[in-house]
Structure formats: C-alpha cells, structure tokens
Amino acid sequence: MNGDLLATARAWAEADPHEGDRAEILALVEAGDTAELGRRFAGPLTFGTAGLRGPLRAGPAGMNAAVVLRAAAGVGRHLLDTGHGGGTVVIGFDARRRSDEFAHLSAQVFSALGFGVQLMPRPLPTPVLAFAVRHLGAVAGVMVTASHNPPDDNGYKLYLEQGAQLVPPADRAIEAAIAAVGPARDVPLTGGHAVLGDDVLTEYVTAVVRALDPERVPAADRAALRVAYTAMHGVGASTTRLVFAAAGFAQPVAVAEQDAPDPRFPTVAFPNPEEPGAVDLLTALADRSGADVAIAQDPDADRCSVVCAGRQLTGDEVGALLADWLLRRGVRGTYASSLVSGSLMHAIAESRGVPSEETPTGFKWIVRAGSAAAPLVYGYEEALGYAVAPDVVRDKDGISAALAVALLAAELKAEGRTLLDRLDELAEEHGLFVTGQLSVRVEDLSLITDAMARLRSAPPAALLGRPVEYADLAEQSPPVDAVRLLGDGVRVIVRPSGTEPKLKAYLETVVPVHDDAGMIAARGRGADELDQLRAEMSAALGV
C-alpha cells in the first residue's frame, strides 16, 4: 500500500502546475514520509457547512493551487450544466495567505469557461461579496476565506444566484463535477477578467445604512455612544468605519495591535471571538477608554461579538437582543434561528405575535426561512452570526450586526440603561434562558463518530434530574447529523461541527425569575445547572 501511495503522490505532483506545491509533495515522496502523505491523500476536501475549507498544504486534502483550479472548473461546469453559461461570477478574497492567488486563479478558470468575471479590488469582508452577488445580478460568487479558522487554513466559500450559500443537492452535484475534472495542469486558463472599483463597496455601505435607518435614533444619541472595536487582524476595519461614519456615529476606538490585516494572527491563539482570550485586548481597551459597548468581528467580518461592562455576551444573548430591538421597531415577518441556537428569540417572537422558525445549522438554511406571506426579516445562529438585513445580505453579516448593536446601545444609553439591563428585563418577562457549550476539539475524526454512536445507542433518559425525550435529527427532512434531548426547561443538541474538527453539545436551561431581587439567584442557579449539564453530557459522550 505504501508503494501505491507513493505512486499516487508522484502522479498528483506531475499534474500540479504550482512549482512550490509540487516540490512539497515530491519532498515527502523522496523522504518516504508515508504518514504525512497519508494525511494529504486521505481524500479530497468536501463541501461542508461553508464550502471547501482546510489547511494550506499540497495534495488533495489541502487548500492549494491544484485544488482551487479543479474546484473552480467543477463549479463552472455545474453552472454551465444548469443553464447559467455566460453569466457573471463575482470573486472576493480576504487577507489570509494565498487568498489573492486563489482568487486570481479562479478568475482565470471562470473566464476561460466564458463567464463574465468581476474580481473584488482588494481584500474585503465576506458580506460585501455576498451583497455583490445580488447587487450585480451574478449567477455565482466565490469568497476565498477560512473565516475564523486557524492561521494555516484557507477556504473556498460559494454563493449561488440570489447571494445565498448552496444547499443540497447542489453541493453533491458540484462535488461530482469537481471529481470529474481532469488534472489541474490541464484546466484551461485565460485572462480578461474585470476588476471592480469601489462602487460596489459604496453601494453596500449605503444599503446597510438605509436598511437599519439610523435616523430613528437622535443624532446626539448616536454621537454620544463610545464604541471599542477590533477587526481581529482581519479585513473588517475599513468597511466598518465607513458604515459607522455614514450612520452618524463617532469612529470606534480600535485595538491597534489587531486593526490591520495580518494572516499570522499574532495576538490570538485562534482568530475566533468565541475562543477563550480572543477578546481580552478588546475588553481591556473598552475599560481604559470608558466605552459603552465593545464589538469584535472575526477576520472576514461575517461574525460579531459584543462585550458590555466587561462581560462578553453569548451569541444567543445578542441574537435575542437584536430580535427584540427589531420587533420593538415594528419589523414584522419571520424570525429564524438555527436548531442549535437558544430558545429565547422564539419566546419573544411568540409573545409579539410573529412567526419564528428553527432551521438546520448554517446560514444557508436560515436565509431560506419564511414564506411569501411572512418573509424572513431576521436570522441568527449562536456562533455569533446575525442577519439583521437579509434583503441586503442573504448571509450572516458582522458589519450590519455591529451597526444594529450600536443603534440599540445608543437608544439604551439615552435612557440610562445598557444591553445588560435589557437582558435582565427580557429574563423577567420570559425567564432566564442560559445557554452554553461542551466543545471538544480532536485530531482523530473517528473520535467524533464514536461519540455520536455512543449517544445514539444509549441516550440519557434524564438531565438535571428531569426526564428528556430523545430525537435523532438524522431522520428528519432535511436530515441533520445531530441528536436532540428535550425536557421541561432543559435542552441539549449534539452535533459535529461543519467547519472545524470539533464535537459540540449545545446546552440550554431555563430558570424562572420571580422579581428583581431574584435575578442574581437565577443567574447563579443557571450557571450551576449549565455546569451540571456539561458534566452529564461529557459522561454520556465519553469525552
């Protein structure tokens, strides 16, 4: 078998048009490093929750020039086969290593297939690319980014017409089209693609500001809000500043060490605002500067994290706050969240008489919620993703979310209140919804498969001393590789991550709040119950 692996690696290297990638594989062959080659040739990258994503390394199981060439060719073939030949394809990229290279290679492939290619002028946020697909009437959009993944990763995110991510069966059809592409060296390339100017960015800024209508908040209240901000070494800073200026806010005070794009992400272990310690510099800056609210975006600015009075809010807390804010503004329609997100938003929507939906995980499903009678007006997922203006961007957007948070914070500040005060008010009205995670990162993906199998074969009958009902969500339509445990005031959903090598258990407990004096006691009880849930689920999963 080692001989077959070495022969396969040599054949791949011969077909790899990138000199550096080819040399990388040949060096492993010459060294006889079958262990590393086994990882590189374990199989091709697959389309997950957000397209292709993987480590920057040569071979079919990595992000490299050959993989990108074949991916672009496969996507192009799928577009031709589905009647979109000759249409516009928009291509964007972030500031990660090789992102610009992969974007330009893709542009050459789509141009050779007869598409009208529009390339973003420089590294820009993912939401700008998603906006551009609809704004320019494109048949597809490609964003070269790995979002919040570690520095050595990159990815290839695909949007089809109308600016939404692809869903089955298109993902499997595209995988098949990519598999049918011949050697990367033989993929036709041609120049002649267009490079967009700043008009598309200006239109995005205008559309976001128009959708959120900042004039509903008095100009003096907007100007008085103090915001601390970090781009987390990503590409969000300049666009966020444009949006805030256009909306009449003072410029946020920025974490200087993290403001400029830097693919090394030197100040954070993982460039993900969810990770422990990731917002420490932001929190310290907010404290020093007396900021009313602090906002962090992930590197491609499609996610948004919020810190208030030294406390980082959960995605579910921000999700509920923004839903409540939009409802109080009179925004009617469908409110949606992913099945792993908390339940408070649905309780709020029900109390206001508007429909809400729970969708499979991922914004590709969230943006498809709603109906003709009640179109989607808001969607969120607990992993810090929010669509506050889905008519502008049919995906999560950390820039429009940041503006919405600032508008809400400005309104509350004018009344002598904070985001935390509004959360307490919601808890008094609906109960204290406490959510959290048990998250296990693995090197060996079989550990995730084994843990899911253990849970399915012997699910717990009770959690927190309360009976729970078991449901395997793989049996629903569309099927989801997840398990749900649901009881009175307790809910757990367990699933493998779609973007990282993690097993995640999403935990929720609901604690009643009887009066103002009971809020501290309720929060203490909620924290204790969340800890107990983590312990119980860790035992059930064997992790």
Same domain? For 50 and 169 the reply is yes
* Confidence label for 445 from pLDDT (cuts 50, 70 and 90): confident
From 355, 351, 376, 354, select the one nearest 365 (Cα to Cα).
Answer: 376
Burial-class residue 466 by CB neighbours within 10 Å (0-12, 13-18, 19+).
exposed
- Rounded distance, CA 231 to CA 263, Å? 12
Same domain? For 479 and 387 the reply is no
* Confidence label for 467 from pLDDT (cuts 50, 70 and 90): very high
**Mean pLDDT calculated for residue range 301-316:** 97
What are the tens digits of pLDDT across the range 262-277?
A: 999 999 999 999 999 9
DSSP symbols for 152-200: TEEEEEEEEGGGEE--TTHHHHHHHHHHT---GGGS------EE--THH
Instruction: Identify the pLDDT of residue 12.
Output: 97
Instruction: Identify the pLDDT of residue 499.
Output: 67
- Rounded distance, CA 341 to CA 321, Å? 14
Whether 35 is in a domain gets the answer no
* Confidence label for 49 from pLDDT (cuts 50, 70 and 90): low
Whether 32 is in a domain gets the answer no
**Mean pLDDT calculated for residue range 141-161:** 95
Same domain? For 158 and 233 the reply is no
**Mean pLDDT calculated for residue range 442-467:** 92
- Identify which has the larger pLDDT, 114 or 2: 114
> How big is the chain by its Cα radius of gyration, in Å?
23
Q: Which residues contact 332 (CB under 8 A, 6 or more apart)?
A: 354, 374, 377
Same domain? For 404 and 475 the reply is no
Same domain? For 228 and 173 the reply is no
**Mean pLDDT calculated for residue range 316-323:** 98
Residue carrying the six token digits 């041609």: 190
* Confidence label for 58 from pLDDT (cuts 50, 70 and 90): very high
Question: Which of 99, 106, 111, 147 is an active site residue?
Answer: 147
Instruction: Identify the pLDDT of residue 500.
Output: 73
Instruction: Identify the pLDDT of residue 442.
Output: 83
Whether 17 is in a domain gets the answer no
Residue carrying the six token digits 């704004």: 135
Whether 137 is in a domain gets the answer yes
- Average pLDDT for the chain: 95
Same domain? For 140 and 267 the reply is no
Whether 8 is in a domain gets the answer no
Instruction: Identify the pLDDT of residue 428.
Output: 94
Instruction: Identify the pLDDT of residue 441.
Output: 86
- DSSP-derived letter for residue 314 is P
Instruction: Identify the pLDDT of residue 152.
Output: 96
Instruction: Identify the pLDDT of residue 167.
Output: 87
Instruction: Identify the pLDDT of residue 399.
Output: 98
Percentage of the chain lying above the pLDDT 90 cut: 89
The three-class DSSP label of residue 537 is: helix
* Angle of CA points 516, 520, 524, to nearest 5°: 145
Check pLDDT > 90 for residue 389: yes
DSSP symbols for 231-285: -TTSS-HHHHHHHHHHTTPPPPEE-GGGSS--TT-TT-SSS-TTSTTTTHHHHHH
CATH of residue 158's domain is: 3.40.120.10
**Mean pLDDT calculated for residue range 221-240:** 98
- Rounded distance, CA 331 to CA 138, Å? 29
Instruction: Identify the pLDDT of residue 518.
Output: 84
**Mean pLDDT calculated for residue range 152-181:** 92
CATH of residue 487's domain is: 3.30.310.50
Active site residue 457: no
Instruction: Identify the pLDDT of residue 477.
Output: 81
- DSSP-derived letter for residue 372 is S
Q: How many domains does the chain have?
A: 3
* Confidence label for 1 from pLDDT (cuts 50, 70 and 90): low
* Confidence label for 517 from pLDDT (cuts 50, 70 and 90): low
Check pLDDT > 60 for residue 396: yes
Same domain? For 219 and 340 the reply is yes
Q: Which residues contact 249 (CB under 8 A, 6 or more apart)?
A: 214, 222, 223, 225, 227, 406, 410
Burial-class residue 284 by CB neighbours within 10 Å (0-12, 13-18, 19+).
middle
Percentage of the chain lying above the pLDDT 70 cut: 99
Residue carrying the six token digits 């009437």: 137
Whether 279 is in a domain gets the answer yes
Q: How far apart are the first and last CA of the chain?
A: 33
Per-residue CA distances from 167 to 91, 100, 367 (Å): 19, 26, 11
Same domain? For 259 and 182 the reply is no
Whether 113 is in a domain gets the answer yes
Same domain? For 190 and 168 the reply is yes
Whether 264 is in a domain gets the answer yes
Range of the domain at 505: 431-541
**Mean pLDDT calculated for residue range 363-376:** 96
Instruction: Identify the pLDDT of residue 168.
Output: 85
* Confidence label for 316 from pLDDT (cuts 50, 70 and 90): very high
* Confidence label for 515 from pLDDT (cuts 50, 70 and 90): low
DSSP symbols for 443-480: S-THHHHHHHHHHHHS--SEETTEEEEEEEGGGSSS--
Instruction: Identify the pLDDT of residue 74.
Output: 96
From 504, 503, 501, 495, select the one nearest 443 (Cα to Cα).
Answer: 501
Same domain? For 503 and 531 the reply is yes
- DSSP-derived letter for residue 92 is E
- Rounded distance, CA 291 to CA 306, Å? 12
* Confidence label for 502 from pLDDT (cuts 50, 70 and 90): confident
- Identify which has the larger pLDDT, 518 or 146: 146
Instruction: Identify the pLDDT of residue 48.
Output: 63
**Mean pLDDT calculated for residue range 129-142:** 97
Same domain? For 145 and 51 the reply is yes
Instruction: Identify the pLDDT of residue 119.
Output: 98
